[in-house]
Structure 1
Amino acid sequence: MRKINVLVACGAGVATSTVVMSKLEELFKANNIDAELHQIKIAEAKSLQDSNDMLISTTILPTKYDIPAIRATAYLTGIGQDKLEKEIIDTAKEVASK
């Protein structure tokens, strides 16, 4: 599997995306997924999607994207976190195998 580039977004690109970044680093490492994470503001996602493989956001997705986009509010609430992590892992493995 190849290395994947993941955008991690929140409204301002600082607070909640930082929390999610650390959780994703642990999740990808535990599942042997080689990923480079890029912390951004959600407003930057559309212009950065062409050079990245997936988007994980803590905020509402304001548009449709050409890459898989996952809303990761479960990392903030703790509700549905197992389901979210399965979706992230499955998507990352699918993207990395292309």
Structure 2
Amino acid sequence: MKTVNVLVACGGGIATSTFAATEISRIAKNAGIPVNVSKAPLRDVPAIAKEYDVCFTTSKYSQDAGTRIVQVGGLITGIGEEETVEEIKHVLTELANG
């Protein structure tokens, strides 16, 4: 199983990305998926996202970033949280086994 390199991005790259990164790390650990998680502000995504296997954003992001973008606002708002967790698991599993 491959270690998945994850970027978590939010507006400022501090508060919500820290919370989301912690949750994504927990989800990966519970699923037995090795991950390396980094955080960044959304404005840096176009320049650095291609260095990662996936970029999870806490808000909508529609630019091409050279890697897969997955919106995970449900982790922050609680709206659709179960579906968001399942999508995170699915993406991480696919990348780890890919």
TM-score (norm 1): 0.92
* Count of paired positions: 98
Aligned-pair CA distance for 1:54: 0.1
The CA RMSD measured in Å over matched residues stands at 1.2
Q: Structure 1: 5+ residue runs without aligned partners?
A: none
For residues 1-98 of structure 1, the aligned pairs below 5 Å read 1-98=1-98
Greater than 3 Å deviation, 4+ residue runs: none
2:21 is aligned with what amino acid? M
Q: Bigger shift: 46-55 or 27-36?
A: 46-55
1:28 is aligned with what amino acid? A
Q: Bigger shift: 30-39 or 65-74?
A: 65-74
Q: Structure 2: 5+ residue runs without aligned partners?
A: none
Confirm or deny: 8 A CA contact 2:28 2:34 kept in the other structure.
yes
TM-score (norm 2): 0.92
Confirm or deny: 8 A CA contact 1:68 1:91 kept in the other structure.
no
Tell me the alpha carbon deviations over residues 19-58 of structure 1, each in whole angstroms, 9 at most, x when there is no partner. 1111111111100010000010111112112221000011
